Structure 1
Amino acid sequence: MITPDQKKEDKTTLIVTSTPDPEGLSFLNEYVTRVMPMLLNAGGVVVKRTEVTRVFHGDRQFTYLLVMDFPSDESLNNLFESEAYQQLIKIREKGFVNMNILYGRDL
């Protein structure tokens, strides 16, 4: 859990961009249903979940965007390297045509 006194540089922002596979919506739903509790249990706080509805400039390279704050890179690394998450990778791959999982820091 992120605390108010935590230094800005210690926090990690998770950015996930994705495009669903229309043929794999049941896998998408299973992945999201299983991964969201894992993200929250790892100390994540949802900042924004959104669907891209319009592109003003550039190319639409994804459909969904998830932004979450975490206490550290380590909390995310522990989650993504866990056996429980590793078991979700095949489900993830069947539910999305693409997904990018990025870490960021506040400027």
Structure 2
Amino acid sequence: MPKDQHEVVVMGTPHTSTSSTTTIITMPEISKPDYVVWSLFNTLFMNFCCLGFIAYAYSVKSRDRKMVGDMTGAQAFASTARCLNISCLILSVVMVILFITFFATRR
């Protein structure tokens, strides 16, 4: 082929003036908390009636469900762990205040 003549082959979709493109954006899923650290703290330091240990068990179940991909199950276990952690924290603080009050008012 001489230098002056080149054949151009266009492959693909035909060019039209109203061509539209579609963009797909995949957003990463927002991670839900599983409260493992809070449960571990309550287990080690504020384990009122073993509520901290039970909360830790639910937190680990929540983390396992999250690893499997069951986000609704993970959220349910995390909610239970959060409620147990809150109750453990409140009951432990109340118990400490009662002990301090008892020993401070004792003659």
TM-score after normalising by structure 1:
0.31
Q: Between Structure 1 and Structure 2, which shows a larger proportion of strand residues?
A: 1
TM-score, normalised relative to structure 2: 0.31
Instruction: Choose between structure 1 and 2: higher helix proportion.
Output: 2
The structure that has the greater radius of gyration is 2
